[in-house]
Amino acid sequence: MGSDEQNLARHAAARAAMEMLPEGDTIGLGSGRAVWAVIEALRDRWPSGPPLRAVCASSATDTKAREAGIEVLELDGELALSVAVDGADEVGPSLGLLKGGGGALLREKLVISAAERFVCVAETAKLVPRLGATRGLPVEVARFAWRDTRRRLLESGLVGDAVLRVQRDGEPYRTDEGHHILDCAIPERADDLAPGAALGAPEANLRAWGATLAAVPGVMEHGLFIDMADVVLLGTPEGELETLQA
C-alpha cells in the first residue's frame, strides 16, 4: 500500500471513529498515526475545540490533543472513560491485536483497561492470518538489568529472539515510563509453551503464552492485546471502511 493509499485508509477509519465519540464524554486516546488522525478529524469538526475530555497514552498524543483544544486529564482511580480509541500494528482473525510499534504499549493497555469500550482504528493492510506474522512482539522491560531479563526470556524458550530497540543515534529507545523495549519473535506454536492452552484456538493460546511471558521478572508489559477490542474500524486503500465486531 502506497503512502497516499495508506493516508486514505487511515483517515477513513479515523472519521468513522470520530462519529462514535459522543459530545461531552471523557475518552481514552492511545498513540500513533491512526490516533493522531482521529484528533485531526475532531479538530476539523469542532475548530474551536472538541467538546471532549481525554486521557492520553503518550506524551506525543498529549501534545496533539491539547493543540486541538481537547482537555487532557489523568487517570486518578475514579475517572471513567466511555471509550478508548487506539491503533494496531497487526489485527488477527479473532480481533486480537499486536501493538507497541510506537513504544507506548504499557500506557495504552492501562488506558484501554480503564474504558468501557475499545475501538481500534487501523487499515485493511494490518489484517494478518496470525499475530506476529509481519513483525516481532514488543516487550517492555525495566532498564535495570535488562540484559538479565533478555537472558531469561531466551533461556526459557518463550521467544526465539529478543532484540533491543534502539533510536536512530544508536542509543537504546526509552518509553515514556523510562523502560526499554525488546522486540521478540512469537513462536508459531505458542500452545507448546503456554500452560493450559488449547489446540485450535491460536489467540487463546497467545493469551496464555502472554501471561507466562508477563510473569518473567523484569517484564513490565507486552504488546499482545487479546480479547480487548470491541470494534475494529479498517480503512481501505480506496478510502472506504470495513467494520469488524468482536
Specify whether 181 is located in the same domain as 86: no
| Number of Cβ atoms within 10 Å of the Cβ of 23 | 8
Has 108 been annotated as catalytic? yes
Specify whether 212 is located in the same domain as 240: no
CA angle (157 as vertex; 227, 155 as ends), nearest 5: 130
**Percent helix, strand, coil in the chain (nearest 5)?**
30, 25, 45
Average pLDDT taken over every residue of the chain: 92
Q: What is the pLDDT of residue 192?
A: 56
* Closest residue by Cα to residue 130 from 196, 195, 199, 188: 188
Quote the DSSP letter at residue 169. Answer: T
Specify whether 60 is located in the same domain as 105: yes
Residue 119, pLDDT > 60, answer yes
CATH code at position 141: 3.30.70.260
Q: What is the pLDDT of residue 49?
A: 87
Question: Which has more pLDDT, 140 or 188?
Answer: 140
Specify whether 192 is located in the same domain as 240: no
Q: What is the pLDDT of residue 1?
A: 61
Specify whether 8 is located in the same domain as 95: yes
Amino acid at 179: H
Specify whether 171 is located in the same domain as 103: no
Residue 38, pLDDT > 90, answer yes
Specify whether 116 is located in the same domain as 73: yes
Q: What is the pLDDT of residue 3?
A: 79
Residue 198, pLDDT > 50, answer no
| Number of Cβ atoms within 10 Å of the Cβ of 195 | 9
* Closest residue by Cα to residue 86 from 63, 67, 113: 113
Specify whether 109 is located in the same domain as 11: yes
Specify whether 154 is located in the same domain as 88: no
CA angle (156 as vertex; 150, 159 as ends), nearest 5: 65
| Number of Cβ atoms within 10 Å of the Cβ of 220 | 17
Euclidean distance between CA atoms 113 and 106, whole angstroms = 11
Total structural domains within the chain: 2
Q: What is the pLDDT of residue 202?
A: 64
- Out of 108, 140, 203, 221, pick the active-site residue: 108
Region 180-189 average pLDDT: 87
Q: In this predicted structure, which of 1-10, 172-181, 209-218 has the lowest mean pLDDT? A: 1-10
pTM recorded for the entire structure: 0.92
CATH code at position 79: 3.40.50.1360
Specify whether 142 is located in the same domain as 93: no
Region 10-39 average pLDDT: 95
Specify whether 24 is located in the same domain as 116: yes
Where are the alpha helices (H) located in the chain, listed in sequence order? Answer: 3-19, 33-45, 59-67, 105-113, 146-156, 202-214
Structural domain range at position 58 = 3-128+227-245
Specify whether 103 is located in the same domain as 26: yes
Region 64-82 average pLDDT: 95
